Structure 1
């Protein structure tokens, strides 16, 4: 009935039972009146959590077992049906796994190759005589996200949810799919594995539920790619150097797929091009975003792009900074910046300093030129892309090309003249007036917010998150270039 290697169950007392594996895969359920070894294994697991008496597991699903299941469902905020389905088994599996979580010192020791005593010593605050006057970014401790361990780098961003707006002014959020009903068995197994890997992360689980309800997990590569990510080992340096729990990478990825408006460029970082590219990829091909993020955060730290070229994550992108970005934004954007930088074999992008690249050395910042952006965009998206620039044509002509692409449903990265410099944004929708002439454009600032003060003239949209509206005439006046398909 099931495949032991494809259930997503981590607790051996559940994974070893064929019936419970089938339940986890969505191929079966257990309810009052059922009998057999599957019920007995269920009763023993419930008893281990204090929801029953494991010594009285008799393999008969009666009123007491029903009550124990309801209690578990209530504690996990699941529908209190008393029926054991895939979601209930996943919740039971998470709770069993939590009971087995070793003490922090033991976990640190195993990951770092230390004795428990050495790991515990890492958590002790240094004496006044031992404490450095001002720790530098090159003097990092281990496991910095544990509250009782030294905080030598900024901690994780609060990472608040920014729920998708109920009414999207862009008008093209994925509508609820016509796909409905139960997932196929192999997809259900991926879903169970994702729920297990997310543990008790309520916000990520809620985002996953929204993706499921919208039909976005029923077909395509998104769910398999997320499942592969859930089952893969992350680069141990994420924990050792950045204090990044591996589950956090998966959780942030799911929440970004659910709502790409969470993407942020980062304060005081010239990564507008990379942030724009990340946002477009999430809007156009979220499954590929997941695949790339999975690759660069694995132990190898690299992934082959559609072009055949390899994208690598710079090691210095692991350390948390003060840019206001969540972990996956910082790592993904740093990898893109490093890859897009001309002559990166001489000058690698340095995230902590936001410089040390060839173009930074020339221009004084980390600006990604139009041609470099288009080359990397083509590497990532596949197909053919070209750059258009107002240096060679009129701004009105470039704006017309952008309007035509948006009319075909494309999300277009454009480079605007912005407060004395240049800034990458995403053109998402063209709004036409009387007679069908372009009247205004909806765009998104990768900073993730926009006061809409200064040049170019623009007005914020109600949902915020960097979205703004711009008159088409102002677009034609301020556009410097764009990356277009074909």
Structure 2
């Protein structure tokens, strides 16, 4: 029965997508008429826009009601009756929180930094004069953050500081930033996040989708990650992404959020907005999206995740939903398993699961699968930790997954 409820939720989400597609078509046609006919078509466009608002508003309300009813029914029926097991994973690693209390981590980072000085000097001599200058610029900018400085050293010693990455980091170290942004703190955050992307966390926000995309980008293209952070932090707050769109800093980017890093405060709301498409608007303060202020739809759908990743990376992505991929079917389970077993550095797979618990039996949540070994799935949870779970058990909680094509 729990699976039926998840089908109902997914069906409702699909209905909402169809509503949005119809609304986008209506608005696009109205826009074409304005361009062709000039002022005379403005009245027609206004009517179409009004109808679009009514259509999306109705769809948003219907979806909200459906999800609410589904959750209530799950709670009423009870876990035993639903046979819905809580999502119980093994936490394999919790990285240093880039924005947390330093504590003993600061002492350990200091020891590592000092012991690595001779190796750092030797590694720097192998770089070009320009790269050496860029390294010094970044190191000076984060000199007051021991953990960030040690992370920079670690990447150098591991050969992970390419010319473009160093250039982009140095660009951030010397750029002008918007009022309210601490450039050096932001730089220190970004350095730690590209050094160890698993530390990236959504904190108190419902941005697991945007955070999962953020982790993927930090793992696959750290130079691009840093470039986007710098662009969003600029006085203009705008930066071009791979598909040619312009990513913009949200006006409420720094709203209370439970302690995200500066770079995460900039990227996550912008990614949530980009995934929305043309009609919806993401409100970082309310942590939800709406159309013209109507509706309260949290999270990110699987097709939106695929579109966002294509926009950011230039790669092609597919999306598969549980409603069309029943794990009870051996052939479909093998398809799912084959996609996940291909997960590896540079080819991670975002997956949406029902992260059910005793308190919340219907709880869609995005994760980033990084590999499969010995029948167990390893993944990064955007709560800032790494976990693993047996493949068979993991598949029971599946809602959707988004592999590369």
Structure 1 and Structure 2 fold alike (TM over 0.5): yes
* 3-state SS of 1:470 partner: strand
2:351 aligns with one of 382, 405, 414: 414
Which runs of at least 4 in structure 1 moved beyond 3 Å after TM superposition? 156-163, 358-362
**Are positions 1:263 and 2:206 aligned together?**
no
Structure whose residues are more often helix by fraction? 2
Pair 354,360 (structure 1): closer, same or farther in 2 beyond 3 Å? farther
**Aligned partners of 2:259, 2:376: CA distance in 1, in Å?**
31
**Aligned partners of 1:263, 1:408: CA distance in 2, in Å?**
17
**Aligned partners of 2:350, 2:144: CA distance in 1, in Å?**
37
Give the deviation of 1:270 after TM superposition.
1.2
Match of 2:215 in 1: 279
Match of 2:168 in 1: 225
Pair 279,293 (structure 1): closer, same or farther in 2 beyond 3 Å? same
**Aligned partners of 1:380, 1:289: CA distance in 2, in Å?**
10
* 1:60-112 deviation digits (Å, cap 9, x = unpaired): xxxxxxxxxxxxxxxxxxxxxxxxxxxxxxxxxxxxxxxxxxxxxxxxxxxxx
Match of 1:329 in 2: 264
**Aligned partners of 1:359, 1:262: CA distance in 2, in Å?**
35
Q: Is the 8 A contact 1:398 1:476 kept in 2?
A: no
Pair 417,468 (structure 1): closer, same or farther in 2 beyond 3 Å? same
Q: Is the 8 A contact 1:360 1:367 kept in 2?
A: no
Match of 1:203 in 2: 147
**Aligned partners of 2:401, 2:167: CA distance in 1, in Å?**
33
**Aligned partners of 2:377, 2:233: CA distance in 1, in Å?**
36
* 3-state SS of 1:429 partner: strand
How do residues 176-191 of structure 1 correspond to structure 2 at under 5 angstroms?
181-191=125-135
Give the deviation of 1:429 after TM superposition.
1.2
How do residues 298-337 of structure 1 correspond to structure 2 at under 5 angstroms?
298-319=234-255, 321-337=256-272
How do residues 210-249 of structure 1 correspond to structure 2 at under 5 angstroms?
210-217=154-161, 219-236=162-179, 239=180, 244-249=181-186
Match of 1:84 in 2: none
2:284 aligns with one of 351, 371, 377: 351
**Are positions 1:427 and 2:369 aligned together?**
yes
1:288 aligns with one of 188, 213, 224: 224
For the aligned residues, what is the CA RMSD?
2.9
Match of 1:34 in 2: none
Give the deviation of 1:251 after TM superposition.
1.1
* 3-state SS of 1:485 partner: coil
Q: What 5-or-longer segments of structure 2 have no aligned partner?
A: 1-97, 110-118, 328-332, 357-361
* 3-state SS of 2:364 partner: strand
Give the deviation of 1:314 after TM superposition.
0.5
Between the two proteins, the alignment pairs up a number of residues equal to: 286
Q: Is the 8 A contact 1:389 1:398 kept in 2?
A: no
**Aligned partners of 1:360, 1:369: CA distance in 2, in Å?**
20
Q: Is the 8 A contact 1:265 1:271 kept in 2?
A: yes
Give the deviation of 1:324 after TM superposition.
2.6
Pair 215,478 (structure 1): closer, same or farther in 2 beyond 3 Å? same
* 3-state SS of 1:221 partner: helix
**Are positions 1:481 and 2:400 aligned together?**
yes
* 3-state SS of 2:324 partner: coil
Q: Is the 8 A contact 2:309 2:315 kept in 1?
A: no
Of 251-260 and 388-397, more deviation after overlay is shown by 388-397
**Are positions 1:379 and 2:311 aligned together?**
yes
* 3-state SS of 1:249 partner: helix
Match of 2:342 in 1: 405
Q: What 5-or-longer segments of structure 1 have no aligned partner?
A: 1-155, 167-175, 433-438, 449-465
**Aligned partners of 1:413, 1:181: CA distance in 2, in Å?**
39
Give the deviation of 1:279 after TM superposition.
0.9
Pair 379,350 (structure 1): closer, same or farther in 2 beyond 3 Å? same
* 1:358-396 deviation digits (Å, cap 9, x = unpaired): 49965x442111111110111101121111222222331
Q: Is the 8 A contact 1:207 1:258 kept in 2?
A: yes
Give the deviation of 1:428 after TM superposition.
1.0
Give the deviation of 1:181 after TM superposition.
4.5
* 3-state SS of 1:349 partner: strand
Give the deviation of 1:328 after TM superposition.
1.6
- Structure with larger RCO (C-alpha < 8 A, sep 6+): 2
**Aligned partners of 1:183, 1:370: CA distance in 2, in Å?**
42
Give me the TM-score of the superposition, normalised by structure 2. Answer: 0.65
**Aligned partners of 1:361, 1:272: CA distance in 2, in Å?**
22
**Are positions 1:341 and 2:341 aligned together?**
no
* 1:13-32 deviation digits (Å, cap 9, x = unpaired): xxxxxxxxxxxxxxxxxxxx
Give the deviation of 1:202 after TM superposition.
2.4
Pair 195,295 (structure 1): closer, same or farther in 2 beyond 3 Å? same
2:324 aligns with one of 392, 400, 406: 392
Give the deviation of 1:180 after TM superposition.
7.6
Pair 262,359 (structure 1): closer, same or farther in 2 beyond 3 Å? farther
